[in-house]
Amino acid sequence: MHNQTVMNNETVKAGLKRTRAKRSLLSVSLEKLLELIIRLSGISAILFVLAIFFFVFREAIPITFSEHFSIKEFLTSTAWYPTSAVNVRYGTFALTVGSLSITFLSVVIALPFGIGAAIYISEFCGAKLKESLKIIIELLAAIPSVVWGFIGLTVMSKVIVAVTGAPLGVNLLNGSIILALMSVPIIVSIGEDALKAVPDSYREAALAQGATKWQIVFRVLLPAAKNGLLAAVLLGVGRAVGETMAVLMATGHAVAIPTSLVDPIRTLTANIAAELGEAPAKSDHYRVLFLTGILLFIITFAINLIADFVIRGVKGKK
């Protein structure tokens, strides 16, 4: 009896081994292949970023050795005359100011709407309304930027002329409102996630202490969801800095430092979009536009870095 069970066990073990060997023969190569593919797709992200960096730098760097070009003029001059017949100058200061001012203003406009909507959706409205609101906000995020630009050009410009009495409808304010409308859906959906992530026990504890809904929102939820909300806003900022098409159409595309809300401006992104197609390949103009791209890189990278530091600072305090 005993011997038999031992033998049985051994045959079972041998069988297992055999099947394992069989399986590996059939599938190990496939498994290895899959692993390779997954690993490649993981590495590809790094490769793509490096390739983009390499390409942009390769196109831009030769200009910095040219004698017609000074990096000081590039950063601090407002004179952007890439095709001048008498004196070619590449100054991007007005464009940088344009990009930063429109980003700042759009965040100022989008912040109360975005955070307000996130609080309403996550804390105040009923389940049915919540579902439909979320779907509609997702739809808002799905509107292509060229359509937003079109709205800015045709609808918003008339509204701005009628309300402010400005001579020109396409300007800094118009672009900022359009950009704010574009970044609100991002702020809402990420901000709502952040508020949802606050454990219900926080709310219950506050309720048990007799806090009103507003007190819960301001004293419990907002501090607890601070990081997530900040991330939401910064993602909105990221969208605003990089946005091109809508900005190109809604801002008036004039190289000038704005002195009022209703002045036309031009941004770094819109300038690249409008001029890269026309610049002869490998010419100075073409290389300066790539250098503008690097400047844009640096700006977005700095914003990201600041965001990291801010979030870390907030964490540190906690």
Contacts to another protein from residues 266-305, by CB under 8 A: 266, 274-275, 277-280
* Greatest C-alpha distance within the chain: 106
Residues paired with residue 90 on neighbouring β-strands, in sequence order: 80
Contacts to another protein from residues 233-272, by CB under 8 A: 252-256, 264, 266
The window from 72-80, 203-211, 233-241, 288-296 that contacts another protein (CB under 8 A) reads 72-80
Q: Can residue 169 be called a binding residue for another protein (CB under 8 A)?
A: yes
Residue of 302, 283, 258 lying closest to 90 (CA atoms): 283
> CB of 278: closest distance to another protein in angstroms?
3
Distance CA 3, CA 23 (A): 30
The window from 15-23, 100-108, 137-145, 164-172 that contacts another protein (CB under 8 A) reads 164-172
Distance CA 187, CA 235 (A): 7
> CB of 262: closest distance to another protein in angstroms?
9
Nearer to another protein, 94 or 216 (CB): 94
Q: Are 83 and 67 in contact (CB under 8 A)?
A: no
Distance CA 284, CA 299 (A): 22
Site for another protein (CB under 8 A): which residue of 100, 125, 140, 168? 168
What the block records as the tokens of 118 is: 């996130």
Distance CA 99, CA 265 (A): 9
DSSP three-state, residue 80: strand
Contacts to another protein from residues 132-161, by CB under 8 A: 157-158, 161
Q: Are 220 and 201 in contact (CB under 8 A)?
A: no
> CB of 241: closest distance to another protein in angstroms?
21
> CB of 154: closest distance to another protein in angstroms?
9
Q: Can residue 1 be called a binding residue for another protein (CB under 8 A)?
A: no
The residues that touch another protein, with contacts defined as CB under 8 A, are: 78-87, 94, 157-158, 161, 165-170, 252-256, 264, 266, 274-275, 277-280
